Structure 1
Amino acid sequence: MSEVDHSMNSKRLVFVTVGTTCFDSLVRAVDTQEVKEALFRKGYTHLVIQMGRGTYIPTKSPGEDGSVDVDYFTFSSSIADYLKSASLVISHAGSGSIFESLRLKKPLIVVVNEDLMDNHQSELAEELAERKHLFCARPQTLYQTISEMDPESLIVYQPGDATPVAKFINRFLGFPDD
């Protein structure tokens, strides 16, 4: 793969979100030099990390030659603007973050938190990855996922119509059809 000429590109933001949780292993993985260099090689110029309740503090950097500009914060009243301006989203496996990123048609890497008990979130992420709507990784495989990913290979997620399911539930519960 050829190196990208960053002087010709405008800002290409990678937004990382852990939601309201503590997911230090994701923040640590994104903060490694190899991940930052892999993002830079893919043409990304800025990395913003929403670190939630985590205690690991990532390294801020101004984005000199061969690396991305890195910034972070804990919480925001709304991450919508970050999601909208992102060229790539790296997210925990919370369904809200997943579906909001997919709704905005953002290339998405979902990183599963293996420290959670009874992790139903991994099932959602793995199913959507199987359907090629997103990429799924673990903190220890994030570098490999970024290095091998082709955002153009993703299929745009089309939300389903929940009306038939809602009608079925209403009938099951004894409510009249509308």
Structure 2
Amino acid sequence: MDDQIVETKEQKLVFVTVGTTRFDALVKAIDSQELKKELSREGYTHLLIQMGRGSYMPTKSKGEDGSLSVDHFNFSSSIAENLRSAALVISHAGSGSIFETLRLGKPLIVVVNEDLMDNHQCELAEELAERKHLLFARPQTLHQTIMDMNLESLLPYPEADATPCAKLIHKFLGFPDD
């Protein structure tokens, strides 16, 4: 056994989440062979897609030929463990998903669902991208975003300090200053 070298490839998971809505455009973009090949070239080994209410079914793969292993599911009571184990998160632009991922310090690409009526999510994603906390894409630009991504350029999202807000509330309620 000493003569035999066992080579294991470290698992690098890309977790994709669309939340509870339908975002087939993102799932289709992720399922493209070109995008999966690019993720594999970037060193990712596994792709896990949370599809929500979508009807498009991505192609599953065990990755036995050295390609990306791909799996998917519709819903989960919690995606926290998926987020924690991910090396890269690709998410819809829901504020909950964005801030949960940023708090975990995970690299994040936010893809905006342009089919939504009120697209305030786009404004949030663009602002956080300008501040270099995440990368921003649309389904049709996701492949190029992944090709161009430099995750080292992303800045950690700062921890919030609720002290000033708490002091203001205490003052408003008439509590004495500490």
Instruction: Give me the TM-score of the superposition, normalised by structure 1.
Output: 0.89
Equivalent-residue separation in structure 1 for 2:152 and 2:9 (angstroms): 18
**Are 2:116 and 1:116 aligned?**
yes
Counterpart Cα distance in 2 of 1:169 and 1:93 = 31
Q: Does 1:29 align with 2:17?
A: no
SS in 1 for 2:39: helix
Q: Which residue number corresponds to residue 4 of structure 1? A: none
- 1:104-158 Cα offsets, whole Å, 9 max, x none, are 1000000000111121111111111001000000000000000000111110111
Q: Could you tell me how far 1:9 is from its partner in structure 2?
A: 3.4
Partner of 1:67: 67
Q: Which amino acid aligns with 2:112?
A: V
Structure 1 position 170, deviation (Å)? 7.0
**Distance change >3 Å, CA 49–CA 177, structure 1 → 2:** same
User: What amino acid is the match of 1:96?
Assistant: G
Quick one: distance in 2 between partners of 1:31 and 1:177? 56
Corresponding residue number in structure 1 for 2:42:
42
CA distance in 1, matches of 2:90, 2:110: 6
SS of structure 1 residue aligned to 2:77: coil
Deviation at 1:161, TM superposition (A): 1.7
State the match for 2:4 in structure 1.
none
- Identify the residue that residue 3 of structure 1 maps to in structure 2: none
Superposed, 1:65-144 pairs within 5 Å as 65=65, 67-144=67-144
Residue aligning to 1:175: 173
Q: Which ranges in structure 2 are unaligned for 5 or more consecutive residues?
A: 1-6
Residue 177 of structure 1: how far off its partner (Å): 4.8
Q: d(CA) in 2 for partners of 1:148 and 1:169?
A: 45
Instruction: Tell me the distance in 2 between the aligned counterparts of 1:77 and 1:143.
Output: 29
- Quick check: 1:15–1:89 contact (8 Å CA) kept in 2? yes
Q: TM-score, normalised by structure 2?
A: 0.89
> How many residues are matched?
170
> Using a 3 Å threshold, how does the CA distance of structure 1 residues 79 and 164 change in structure 2: closer, same or farther?
same
Q: 1:11 to 1:115 in 2, by over 3 A?
A: same
Q: CA deviation at 1:78?
A: 1.0
Secondary structure of the corresponding residue to residue 62 of structure 1: coil
Percent of residue pairs identical? 69
